[in-house]
Amino acid sequence: MRYLFRTLLLLMPLLMTLPSWAEEEGDETKKVASQYISLKPSFVVSLGTRSYLKADASLRVRGDETVKKIEHHMPLIRDSLVLLFSSQAYTDVEGAEGREALRKTALQMLQQTLTEETGKPLVDDLLFTSFVLQR
């Protein structure tokens, strides 16, 4: 009985640290650094008669494997964004609210398209690094 008690006393600190080891391993797999993929060249589209949009965008993704998948699907991504951008009216995208609404719509559209193609949305965020409207 004494030996059992002593053994438990000695093992107690070790047993108390086991859950933290498991959490640390799980946290390391979840902590994948963000990577940014710049969509080059710039998007230049007509917004109707005599109105143009020029935009530079970057995608925020996680993991090297995701970067490879995004690069593989880049023609589909660019085509989807060109179609979306060119379907906008000048008045819909002017101002901060319009630009943010377009960004959110573009992100949702890309995530849906990539989910249909790969089974996962792959893209965490879409960021405009430049956004110019001309009338």
User: What token pair was written down for 38?
Assistant: 């710049």
Task: Indicate the pTM of the whole model.
Answer: 0.77
Helices (H), 1-135: 2-30, 64-72, 74-86, 90-93, 95-118
pLDDT tens column, 17-40: 555 444 444 554 468 899 999 999
Does residue 44 share a domain with residue 23? Answer: no
Does residue 127 share a domain with residue 72? Answer: yes
Does residue 126 share a domain with residue 102? Answer: yes
Does residue 39 share a domain with residue 7? Answer: no
Tell me if 107 sits within 8 A of 128, measured CB to CB.
no
Does residue 41 share a domain with residue 4? Answer: no
Does residue 68 share a domain with residue 93? Answer: yes
Quote the domain boundaries for residue 23: 1-31
For residue 29, the tally of other CB atoms under 10 A from its CB is 7
At residue 48, the pLDDT reads 87
Overall domain count for the chain: 2
* Residue 2 in this model has a pLDDT that exceeds 60: no
Q: What is the CATH number of the domain that holds 82?
A: 3.30.479.30
At residue 29, the pLDDT reads 46
Tell me if 51 sits within 8 A of 133, measured CB to CB.
yes
pLDDT tens column, 69-118: 999 999 999 999 999 999 999 999 999 999 999 999 999 999 999 999 99
Does residue 18 share a domain with residue 72? Answer: no
Strand, helix or coil for residue 74: helix
Does residue 89 share a domain with residue 124? Answer: yes
Q: Amino acid letter at 123?
A: V
Strand, helix or coil for residue 119: coil
At residue 49, the pLDDT reads 85
* Residue 61 in this model has a pLDDT that exceeds 90: yes
